[in-house]
Structure 1
Amino acid sequence: MSHLNKIVLSLVVMSSLTLPQNKPERLSPGDTILFIAPSGYLKQDRMALAKKRLEDRGYVTVQADDIFRAYGYLGGADERRVEEFMAGWTNQNIKAIFPGTGGYGTTRILDQLDYDIIKNNPKVLVGFSDITGLHLAINKMTGLTTFHTPSPMYGLGSEENLSLISDYYFWQAIEANNPNGYTIDVKLFELGESVITLHGGKGKGELIGGNLSLINILMGTPYEIETKGKILFIEDVGEAPYRIDRYFSQLRMAGKFDHLKGAILGKFTRRAKEPPDDDNSFTMMRVLEQYFSNLGIPVIANFPIGHYKYNISFPIGVMAEIDADKQTVRILENPTQ
């Protein structure tokens, strides 16, 4: 074998390697949960309500004295947010880390985290939106299962609390012992709206994904999403169809849709204060159809994840099966240990 062929073979082998799965211990009442602000700054009233509800369930919550600090639109200077985040992984009394909210800021600190410490001290990490940055980086660098879930401020800290479906799958993911996995079936909760099948069939693979804009921002970095052989879930908020189209075109050209086993597309909700779309604009569903209907894999859309009152929790990095005909997602293993 020539020297060049040996190099090519080595690169092929390296690209096929994945980190061994690393799972945190499941939570149980009495465990200690750390609130942090690694992204945007936090609102005291919402965090107080989340704290009360967790403590009513039997958990202990702790937080830094300066957790409500603000630095521009951030929850503190980069150095302080890194310090607070890493302190959660080194403190053996902490069993879970709950970022209070998303917003903006995680991408400023990803290259300052100690991934060896995170890998060697597995804990439950929850959140969505900007927290996608942490989920993808930790998945890529450590293999640790993390959880795409409602955040304390917009879930447990909401006046109306978690919706029934959000509450059920949140605790299924991080607290329940499911040695044979569990099934996520939206139809059981009678939400008054339907999931849409864009392409039928079944597919198995690890769950990976999160907020679309964060997925795109991390392209070309060490934390770029790996999608080959996986089930991709994507959601976003406040983005016009042409912007979603732009994000998808980048991922398509980067080959991120080429070897998927399935796709779960969220609501892509809009904000009330957004300007109306141009009369000639594609609808959001039409954009989703253009990119996902002809991939030859199971695809469901309008799924309740992310920026929506119904926000189903997904464990990132665990094996799952999508059945687009039944419109269900089955988690095939225990997300925790």
Structure 2
Amino acid sequence: MSFNRRQFLSASLGSLAILSSIHSLASAQNSPIIKPRKLKAGSGVGLISPAGTTNITEHIDIVEDAVKALGLVPYLGSHLLDQYGYLAGKDQDRADDINQFFADPRIDILLPIRGGWGCARILPYLDYNLIKNNPKIVIGFSDLTTLLIALYTKSNLVTFHGPNAFTSWRKAQVNSFQKALFTEERISFKNQRDSDDDDRLMQVKNRIRTITPGTARGKLIGGNLSVLSAIIGSAYVPDFSGHILFIEDVGEDIYRIDRMITHLKVAGILNKLSGFIFGECTNCSPNGGYGSLTLEQVLDDHIKPLGIPAWTGAQIGHIEPILTFPMGVEVEMNANTGTINYLESGVI
């Protein structure tokens, strides 16, 4: 996928903020969360392209091989190979594949082929009552952040930040996927030690930095900062009160990270959080040499004054392995140790 999202974030937010949905949003946020059923051997996988185009058939063949190797059964969305410019077909058609898979009793999980851009465009066309009444696993990362948060907000559905279909599916990623989705085990997270550090006296890679020490409890939610920032002010984001927010990004200059976190701040979101976690910012660098702030300075400026437990350096983002995290369920985070411990499972 492209490592530069800026050309995709100029769309007007006003088209997303549909006034008629305000009442249903308030009702949804006061309702209990809905957990999908866990996977088992033979569970059906609905392969979708809700964002960027996926028009190379060999990629689909590779994904089907991965799904079968997981012991699951792949089903292709009707519009999986459509193309409309950089999008995987028209907005209504991409949304129809999602609606149809939620209505299909054979399907247990919806797995996107890739991210890119486009999920925000389909949000008005999704049937949130259908989704609420037929809870299923939906997983992904990057542009899928929009879809995951919208389903949580509008349907109270627990969603999963994790791999898209056309990713590596190496051992660590598979293990995380299976633990989170095939079992009701309460998972935990801590940065993995890099093998390059095995013969060193100290840890150099995958270090965490505590911004504000302490522990916090709350519902974990988050994803890609650029994507999240672009839908703030719409009807598709929740009340963040008491939530623990994690964010990550890729290919952004530091001043743009500053601008997007400032957006969260002035929108009143940061002041509602019980905890904050910053993951990886892959290929993010200062633009302007000594005229730039560092990422550390940006995070300290915005997050330290909140006084909530916070840390940075989590192995979450456009990196490998892409681990699977339920979103919308209670966790406890420890900013001193850089750990996330789930207090409940994401599936039933």
Shorter-chain TM band = 0.7 to 0.9
CA distance in 2 between counterparts of 1:81 and 1:65 reads 9
**Residue 27 of structure 1 corresponds to which residue in structure 2?**
39
CA distance in 2 between counterparts of 1:182 and 1:110 reads 30
Aligned with 1:30: secondary structure?
Answer: coil
1:221, distance to aligned residue in structure 2 (A): 1.1
Report 1:120-139 matches (<5 A): 120-139=133-152
Residue deviations 1:10-67 (CA, integer Å, cap 9, x gap): x9xx699522110000011111101011111124333322221220221110103542
TM, length-normalised to structure 1: 0.88
Using the TM superposition, name which of 248-257 and 169-178 deviates more: 169-178
Residue deviations 1:118-154 (CA, integer Å, cap 9, x gap): 000000101011111111111111110010101111x
Matched, 1:277 2:290: no
**Residue 7 of structure 1 corresponds to which residue in structure 2?**
none
The answer for unaligned runs of 5 or more in structure 2 is 1-22, 197-204
Aligned-residue sequence identity (percent) comes to 34
TM, length-normalised to structure 2: 0.85
Using the TM superposition, name which of 45-54 and 88-97 deviates more: 45-54
**Residue 247 of structure 1 corresponds to which residue in structure 2?**
260
Matched, 1:182 2:187: yes
CA distance in 2 between counterparts of 1:237 and 1:175 reads 30
Report 1:87-236 matches (<5 A): 87-153=100-166, 155=167, 158=168, 161-162=169-170, 164-178=171-185, 181-187=186-192, 192-236=205-249
Change in Cα spacing, 1:234 to 1:20, as seen in structure 2 (3 Å) is: same
Change in Cα spacing, 1:172 to 1:139, as seen in structure 2 (3 Å) is: same
**Residue 317 of structure 1 corresponds to which residue in structure 2?**
328
Letter in 1 for 2:116: G
CA distance in 1 between counterparts of 2:312 and 2:195 reads 17
Matched, 1:301 2:308: no
Letter in 2 for 1:146: T
Q: How many residues align?
A: 314
**Residue 3 of structure 1 corresponds to which residue in structure 2?**
none
CA distance in 2 between counterparts of 1:165 and 1:187 reads 10
CA distance in 1 between counterparts of 2:174 and 2:210 reads 25
The answer to whether the 8 A contact 1:19-1:142 is kept is: no
Aligned with 1:322: secondary structure?
Answer: strand
Change in Cα spacing, 1:17 to 1:46, as seen in structure 2 (3 Å) is: closer
Report 1:66-105 matches (<5 A): 66-105=79-118
Report the RMSD for the aligned CA atoms in angstroms: 2.1
Using the TM superposition, name which of 203-212 and 63-72 deviates more: 63-72
**Residue 57 of structure 2 corresponds to which residue in structure 1?**
44
CA distance in 1 between counterparts of 2:57 and 2:42 reads 23
Using the TM superposition, name which of 296-305 and 122-131 deviates more: 296-305
The answer to whether the 8 A contact 2:45-2:107 is kept is: yes
The answer to whether the 8 A contact 2:79-2:97 is kept is: no
Change in Cα spacing, 1:17 to 1:121, as seen in structure 2 (3 Å) is: closer
**Residue 329 of structure 1 corresponds to which residue in structure 2?**
340
The answer for unaligned runs of 5 or more in structure 1 is 1-10
Letter in 2 for 1:19: S
Letter in 2 for 1:197: T
